[in-house]
Amino acid sequence: MTHAPRSPLGRLLSAAVLAILVLPLTGIQGCDGFVSRGWQAERQMEFLRFATEVPLSPGSIGHLISHLERELRSPGFDVPAGAVPDDAWDGIFDKLWRLRDTSDFDALRLTNLLYGYRGHPVASEALWQRAEQALLDFKYHYRDPTPVRIVDGSPVVDNMWYWSENHELIFRTVEFLAGRLFPDRVFTVTGLTGAAHAARARPAILRWLDERARFGFTEWHSNVYYNLDMRPLLALIEWSDDEEIERRSSMMLDLLFLDLALHVHRGTFGATHGRSYIKDKASADTEDTFPQTKMFFDDTELPYRSRGSASGAMFARARNYRLPEVIRRIALDDAPLWDQQRMNLPLDEVPPADPANAAPPEAPFGLDYRDEANLPFWWGMAAQPVWQILPLTLHVAERDNLWVSQFSDFAALRDFVWVPGDFDATIVQAWTVAAGLWPMINMSLLKEVHTATFRTPDYMLSTAQDYRKGVRGSQTHTWQATLSERAIVFTQHPGYVPVAPGGSVPPDWNWQREDEPGPGYWTGEASQPRSVQRENVGIHIYAPQYVPLAFLGFDFVPETHAYFPHAHMDEVVQQGPWTFGRKDDGYVALYSWRPTMWRRGQPEVFQNAGLDFDLVAPGGANNVWIVECGSKEQSGGFEQFQAAILAAQVDVTPTAKAFDVRYVSPSQGELAFGWEGPLMDDGEPVAIHLDRRFDNPYIETDFGETTYEIRKDHWRLLLDFEREIRDANSPPLDWLSELQSSLSGS
């Protein structure tokens, strides 16, 4: 059968029909460069249906928002009046009243609830008024006076942490939005009106946005804290009614979604993380960012996990924010991807050898270590005890009496260095003490990082390259290989062993419910390796560069280990120093210089079904681990992959500080790496510290620049923070015609 050729008008009409009827089903808006409103609404409804399959949990603000939002969107779905009893939020109000840590998270949930649903009969008017008063009575800044409050016979102590990257934005966002919500009412802690609070918070929000636009994120690629950045950004977009803040927040949220898109594999944000916990690292659906990746990228068959998720609820009700189509397409692109990024500022954490005669240190990028206006940025890096910032930390903490609660961990350090009445002498003494303790007291520091990620349809490998080698990392996650949502492999140097005599983890410990303090057994690094990645190959050299002081709590275990879950692999094979895993068509091979064993008799990490998952290399904290990923397409069958790896030459040579490593990879050729110097690839040096903020096929941006142009095929997004431009473009009409022709077969 033949078809008569169509006229130009007919082709145009067909393309228009395609754009109207077909493209929205794929997420394409057609002309404005964003996912379609209909597609996004359906993705949101999928979460709302999931969240509301069970009766309302009235004490969960996230669950309540989901129910109230579904009532707005689904005719016949009703939330009964009075379903929230008057005591349902007592725990939240008490937490805010007592100024406990993470109270700002709860304040943000209340703010979203009040803006979106204030007055709904699900709660009494008295309860709505109590929610308002909780925000009016809240403390928003560490320099505000701590109110005199007696609870159980003792005065309330301010234990809130204001200074990490995410907390800084959340406090300022809640203050701004609460101030806008109650402009004429008096906030009891300060005596200021809401309008004054909003005016105070606004420049701090803009500065936070500008700093991240220039330098990226301190808590890089974090599957915990990106989530906590995304919530306040979305709240500002939805509720601020401030054109500049809404636009800049939308642009920053785009950058966060771009970072997710570059590092998502089968629903897993499987990157190296500046901060993470074992509760988030072992499975895609336990990551705090999972609601966003599933809702907007739909890259996994795993269902949503938490019906009370505040993030799921907030993004499910979003109206003002739509995801740029180009970012969604990057997330779903199966083409091999090599991404390198640079984030955060450099900080030489080694104090001067002669503190008394040391010149004042110079800060990078025009900043100043002595200017209190820069303090939120330095403290956001957890740089309070780093020698350049320590004098200002001491001055502000002494002035504002932060030693009692928030800085109680630093109080002992203050007692060692403080010289009453002589601040210059205090500085010298502080630098002198820091010279001996810096590898340990700086364990939470998050400074400049260079990350590398290689993604294929079958696996993803991601690494923080040459990052703070040999010193402690409180919550850092140096590298990860991801084959599927739960087939995940990484190594770690533990701070303790849970099953040894005196181990601190009881047999009934649940890693998914309890945040492990780091450096712990799975969270953080007791000493961070010197790591490097060349596409699908990574080399990780562990060699602690400090003396453990167990009596001060700065200890480590003389072993390293790997998470290698048998239960989530289709096959696991061990031969010699190599352990191999296969999941579907993706492969991973892991080498240990020290002989390995499987540690048993400990709490499972995540649904390990009684099978082995903890591959331990005892005998010393210094070790070399090598990882190589492959696939059926790249490497042939799983047996062929194993044979090629086993035939590869590996030379590990101990040195005075660590090791020199030479590995002749079947896929990458000869790689050489040590404790010093560059990576050598077939004898040629390879740069692992780049000047670019982003370097991948979709975007190339120099570090410090604030213009980002993201492209995939005909799709484009321009983010220009200096000119405040957020411009998303869709393909031209002739591309739609080509697509229509390909779909119709004509």
CA atoms within 13 A on the CB side of 332: 13
Residue 110 lies in a domain: yes
pLDDT surpasses 60 at 682: yes
**Hey, which residues does 174 pair with through a beta bridge?**
none
What is the domain count for the chain?
A: 3
Confidence of residue 745 (pLDDT cuts 50, 70, 90): very low
Same domain (yes/no): 424, 525: no
* pLDDT reported for residue 735: 53
Residue 338 lies in a domain: no
* pLDDT reported for residue 726: 98
User: Alpha-carbon distance 710 to 696, whole Å?
Assistant: 10
Give residue 233's domain range: 36-328
* pLDDT reported for residue 436: 85
Residue 55 lies in a domain: yes
Confidence of residue 15 (pLDDT cuts 50, 70, 90): very low
pLDDT surpasses 80 at 505: no
* pLDDT reported for residue 501: 54
User: Alpha-carbon distance 87 to 90, whole Å?
Assistant: 5
Same domain (yes/no): 546, 664: yes
Count of CB atoms situated within 10 Å of the CB of 4:
6
Of the residues 690, 717, 741, which one is the last residue of a structural domain? 690
Q: Which of 332, 268, 329 is nearest to 302 (CA)?
A: 268
Calculate the average pLDDT of the chain. 92
SS3 94: helix
* pLDDT reported for residue 547: 86
pLDDT surpasses 90 at 408: no
* pLDDT reported for residue 499: 63
Task: Please enumerate in sequence order all residues whose Cβ is within 8 A of that of 718, keeping only pairs 6 or more positions apart, or say none.
Answer: 707, 708, 709, 710, 725, 726, 727, 728, 729
User: Alpha-carbon distance 165 to 104, whole Å?
Assistant: 13
User: Alpha-carbon distance 338 to 455, whole Å?
Assistant: 7
How confident is the model over 131-152, as a mean pLDDT? Answer: 96
Token reading at 476: 């850092």
Same domain (yes/no): 400, 481: no
- End-to-end Cα, the chain, rounded Å: 13
For the ranges 169-183, 359-373, 410-424, 446-460, the lowest mean pLDDT is seen at 410-424
Count of CB atoms situated within 10 Å of the CB of 181:
18
* pLDDT reported for residue 746: 36
* pLDDT reported for residue 341: 98
Same domain (yes/no): 464, 364: no
Same domain (yes/no): 308, 406: no
Confidence of residue 412 (pLDDT cuts 50, 70, 90): confident
Residue-by-residue DSSP string for 404-427? TTTTGGGHHHHHHH--TT-HHHHH
Same domain (yes/no): 274, 380: no
pLDDT surpasses 90 at 227: yes
Structural contact between residues 35 and 732, judged by C-beta atoms closer than 8 angstroms: no
Residue-by-residue DSSP string for 637-688? SHHHHHHHHHTS-EEEEE-SSSEEEEEEETTTEEEEEESSS-EEETTEEE--
Of the residues 387, 407, 441, which one is the last residue of a structural domain? 441
pLDDT, tens digit (0-9, with 9 covering 90-100), for 66-78 = 999 999 999 999 9
* pLDDT reported for residue 413: 82
pLDDT surpasses 90 at 741: no
* pLDDT reported for residue 733: 56
* pLDDT reported for residue 509: 81
pLDDT surpasses 90 at 9: no
Structural contact between residues 194 and 178, judged by C-beta atoms closer than 8 angstroms: yes
pLDDT surpasses 90 at 380: yes
Of the residues 441, 474, 492, which one is the last residue of a structural domain? 441
For the ranges 36-40, 308-312, 408-412, the lowest mean pLDDT is seen at 408-412
Same domain (yes/no): 437, 456: no
Residue 48 lies in a domain: yes
In the chain, pLDDT over 70 holds for what percent of residues? Answer: 93
Residue 718 lies in a domain: no
How confident is the model over 332-342, as a mean pLDDT? Answer: 97
- Top-confidence residue, 710 or 11: 710
For the ranges 325-334, 354-363, 693-702, 728-737, the lowest mean pLDDT is seen at 728-737
Residue 603 lies in a domain: yes
Residue 709 lies in a domain: no
Strand positions, DSSP E, 493-551 = 530-534, 537-542
Residue 453 lies in a domain: yes
Same domain (yes/no): 434, 474: no
Same domain (yes/no): 300, 377: no
- Top-confidence residue, 390 or 552: 390
* pLDDT reported for residue 512: 82
pLDDT, tens digit (0-9, with 9 covering 90-100), for 588-643 = 999 999 999 999 988 899 999 999 999 999 999 999 999 999 999 999 999 999 99
Same domain (yes/no): 373, 319: no
Task: Please enumerate in sequence order all residues whose Cβ is within 8 A of that of 684, keeping only pairs 6 or more positions apart, or say none.
Answer: none
Secondary structure string (H, E, C) spanning 301-366:
CCCCCCCCCHHHHHHHCCCCCCCEHHHHHHHHCCCCEEEEEEECCCCCCCCCCCHHHCCCCCCCCC
How confident is the model over 86-90, as a mean pLDDT? Answer: 98
How confident is the model over 33-43, as a mean pLDDT? Answer: 97
Same domain (yes/no): 433, 481: no
Same domain (yes/no): 304, 383: no
